[in-house]
Each structure stands twice: as C-alpha cells, then as structure tokens.
C-alpha cells in the first residue's frame, strides 16, 4: 500500500531498546537519519552502526586507501555526536556493492550479533522521488537489509553463524525503517537539541563535505539538516521530523 502524498505520517514505534543501522557508506546516516538517532539515544536507547563499505571511492582527489582511513575516522567522530559508540565496517568495495548472498550473510551476522528490535537503513528504491536516480550501492544495501533480517531469524540460514539465544531476551527484528524513501509512512519528531547534534554529526564529515561544497562545513551541515527535517513536516502536524518507510515483521 502506497500512502498518498498528503496522508499524515504515523508516529514511529518507540517500545524498543536496541537499534542497528546498516548503510552503504560513511555519511549515509548523517544525511537525514542521524537526527532520529539523536532523539533515540537521548531517550536511553542503544544504537550501533554498520557501514558496508569504508567509503573509499567517495573523494575524487584522495587515493582510496587514504580516503578509507579518513572516512572511517570521520564516521566514528560523527557517530559519537549522536550517542553511537559502536561503528563497524564490513569492507565491501565502495561503488560496486553486489546485492547477493555474501552481503546478506554479512548483514545477518551483524543482526545476530547486535540483536536489535529495529533495523534502520536508507532508501532502497530506484529514485529519491521525482527523477533523481538512486545509486546502486544504496539500492543493493537497502534490499539486502530487508532480506537479511529475515535470514537472521532463521537458524537454518547461514547456520555456521552463532545464533542468539541464552542470555537476555531477543524476540527478533520487529521493524525495518528506511530513511530517505519516497514512500515514507512514519516519522520521528526532531527537537532542537537533537537537531543540533545531527548538525554536528554531519559536520564531522569534513573531508567529504569539503569535496562537495565551498561553503563552510558548519553552515553546509546546518542548512542541509534543517532542510531534511523539514521535508516531512507538512505530513506530521508541522513538526520537524525524520520520515521513514516502515516495514513490520
């Protein structure tokens, strides 16, 4: 069911404790979704990040080996700004991620290790809405995430991986939330404090933003984030928010 463009966004569920974000590149979370992460961690929830690549193909003027080192460091700093201390890198090749069983295997392993109730990713659809084509890495990772949460719940799929059990309760992944989707259904309200942390989080990607824009990094990060949290406001009672397409399991 595709919501009509003027249908109101529902409030995202918040009866959960652990989330895992799985995205293709360093910076993918910071271009919008980090503001929701800032709200969640402020409320005491635990969030970890998994980057499928190290973003080594992201800066034209930097050799990939050096670029990977820079972007990994920027991502760790960026995550800390929104209360995320765990960032892991799966080491797939930037720009040519293949959607297939090896990627699903790696994502399923991360899900089994972290035991989240909510998994977050970014837009897996062909476009961002309108005529802006989405990149192959985002499409591949988003689709593989949606598949791999199912894999993670079936102990006969990738049976060589340790399957969670024993300590603590984990009822499996309950939702996958896709940020940046043109088919958003739900939203998380973003208040001023979280907005400020999201801006600081994006601004940590100094080398990457420096390649994209001549604007000072802080003002670039401020104007982008303000714009991003305004996108769903009309469908969310005028409130600034991060909008997600939510899949239940």
**By the criterion CB under 5 A, which residues form the site for Zn ion?**
24-25, 28
Sheet holding 46-53, edge to edge: 10-11, 186-189, 241-248, 175-179, 118-122, 18-23, 46-53, 87-92
Name, in order, each residue with C-beta under 8 angstroms of 69's C-beta and a sequence gap of 6 or more: none
User: Measured from the CB of residue 234, what is the shortest distance to Zn ion in angstroms?
Assistant: 26
Decide: residue 157, CB within 10 A, 0-12 exposed, 13-18 middle, 19+ buried: middle
User: Measured from the CB of residue 23, what is the shortest distance to Zn ion in angstroms?
Assistant: 7
Q: How many residues does the chain have?
A: 249
SS3 160: coil
User: Measured from the CB of residue 122, what is the shortest distance to Zn ion in angstroms?
Assistant: 7
Torsion of CA 193, 196, 14, 83, to 10 degrees: -100
Residue with the CB atom nearest Zn ion in the bound state:
25
Residue with Cβ nearer Zn ion (28 or 117):
28
User: Measured from the CB of residue 70, what is the shortest distance to Zn ion in angstroms?
Assistant: 16
């Amino acid at each position: 069911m595709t919501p009509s463009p003027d249908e109101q966004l529902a409030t995202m569920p918040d009866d959960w404790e652990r989330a895992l974000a799985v995205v293709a590149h360093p910076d993918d979370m910071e271009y919008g979704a980090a503001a929701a992460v800032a709200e969640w961690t402020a409320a005491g929830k635990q969030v970890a990040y998994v980057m499928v690549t190290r973003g080594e193909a992201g800066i034209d003027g930097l050799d990939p080996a050096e670029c990977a080192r820079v972007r990994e460091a920027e991502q760790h700093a960026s995550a800390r700004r929104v209360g995320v201390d765990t960032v892991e890198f799966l080491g797939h090749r930037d720009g040519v991620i293949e959607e297939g069983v090896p990627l699903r295997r790696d994502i399923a392993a991360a899900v089994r290790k972290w035991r989240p109730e909510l998994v977050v990713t970014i837009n897996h659809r062909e476009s961002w809405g309108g005529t802006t084509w989405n990149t192959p890495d985002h499409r591949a990772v988003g689709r593989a995430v949606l598949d791999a949460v199912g894999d993670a719940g079936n102990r006969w799929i990738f049976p060589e991986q340790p399957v969670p059990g024993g300590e603590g309760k984990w009822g499996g992944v309950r939702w996958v939330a896709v940020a940046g989707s043109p088919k958003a259904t739900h939203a998380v309200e973003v208040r001023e404090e979280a907005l400020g942390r999201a801006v600081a989080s994006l601004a940590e990607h100094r080398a990457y933003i420096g390649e994209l824009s001549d604007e000072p990094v802080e003002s670039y990060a401020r104007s982008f984030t303000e714009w991003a949290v305004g996108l769903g406001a009309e469908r969310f009672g005028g409130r600034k928010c991060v909008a997600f397409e939510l899949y239940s399991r």
